[in-house]
Amino acid sequence: MKKLSCMVILTICAAIGLGVFAGSAAKAQEMDYGELARRVVKTSANVKPGDVVVVYGGKHDIALMEALAIETAKQGGMVTMFLDSDKFERAFYTEVPEQYLEQPPSYFAEWVKHMNVWIGLPGVEDPKAVYGDVPQERFAKANKAGQVVTDVLNASGVRVVSLGYPTQSDAAVYQLDFATYQKVFWDAVGADYQKISQDGNKLKQMLQEAKTVRVTSPSGTDFTFSVGDRPIFVDDGIVTEEKAKSKYFVTRYASLPGGSIFFAPIETSANGKVVVPRDRCQFKPLTGESFVFNQGHLENFNAESGGQCYAEAMAPYTGPKDMFAYFQIGLNPAAKVMENPGDYRPGNAAGLVYISVGDNQLFGGSNKVQGAGGFGFPIVNATVTIDGKTVVQDGKLTL
């Protein structure tokens, strides 16, 4: 489970594992910020003259924020920069009295209605140090207050680009040396997004109103579900003119690195067993997870280690938090699952499957959990069939 503050709800990275990472001043010196900013502003965000644009990030992101703001202004966008910091976020979640965590940020929900574009960089440089020991109850209080923002996103028309960045602290969490992590991260940013889009749209056609999707894995996963008439979303790194008109916020969302297809299935259609050998909860190992779906309900959850963290993460939320919520297949061929060595499972890695329980209201689902509470599970080496046709075989796309 990943935490969402009011401001970064607009990046929706936490709930669906889209792989948004914090920044690095050292790596910043190696990047061509001007070229990256042009790509984000002109292509991914498709900024037009007169657009009201917010560039959000942390103290470590200022140089890139400046480049994005300058490029936005050159395109005729009316831009404002919002600054966050590790110190503030740490104090907010550890020092602010609980009654103030529960204050709905209604003012910000109103601001969102007047934004055309949000370009989100990581507001925190070292998430583990900032959030690693914060009680889940405090996250839940802030997230529930932030529901007023979630409630306006679909109708707002805002389009969002979430731009990630690798750091030493992230590399340590993923048990990778920094050079390896940087390379796989930037390779994923520079992937062939035209091919990603083609694969995503092909899968989308197959999934629309699919009667039976089956997911199996060598570790013991074997469950099925139906798509029904639920909308299917493809993140291919670009918010096109067509996507910008969508009534669904997540259609107007793009991430870099991107590359995934995701949707809210028919919740009650899920039946069968899920086994997840390796996962993380609150930056700590969560291993040997297993549970069953019974008409969409998660039942009989067990874990070899870290199970208490899962229970604590879900406890503060009310509503259908144990219902099947979300299904995702990664499409980015340059994003890599690395488990030996490493503990790295980016949600956009081609062929990697993620599922979740809990809230799915932004994806056209029927689960509404106050504060968007939920939990995601990675299924590596999965095989996925759609009405009998194999589209993922042992963790590899077969399109």
What's the pLDDT tens digit per position in 45-97? 999 999 999 999 999 989 999 999 999 999 999 999 999 999 999 999 999 99
DSSP string, 284-318: EEEEEEEEEEETTEEEEEE-SB-HHHHHHHHTT--
- pLDDT of res. 31: 62
User: CA 175, CA 181: separation in Å to the nearest integer?
Assistant: 9
Tokens matching residue 228: 């029904």
Q: What is this structure's pTM?
A: 0.89
Backbone angles phi, psi at 368, to 5 degrees: -120, 110
pLDDT tops 60 at residue 25: no
pLDDT tops 80 at residue 16: no
pLDDT per position as a tens digit, 102-138? 999 999 999 999 999 999 999 999 999 999 999 999 9
Backbone angles phi, psi at 259, to 5 degrees: 115, 80
User: What average pLDDT does the chain have?
Assistant: 91
Q: What is the mean pLDDT of residues 2-31?
A: 39
- pLDDT of res. 32: 79
Beta-carbon contacts of residue 100 (< 8 Å; ≥ 6 apart): none
Q: What is the mean pLDDT of residues 300-305?
A: 97
CATH 3.40.1830.10 for domain 7-191, yes or no, is yes
- pLDDT of res. 166: 87
What residues form DSSP beta bridges with 215?
223, 384
Domain boundaries, the chain: 7-191, 195-231+259-397
pLDDT tops 50 at residue 27: no
pLDDT tops 90 at residue 165: no
User: CA 288, CA 266: separation in Å to the nearest integer?
Assistant: 27
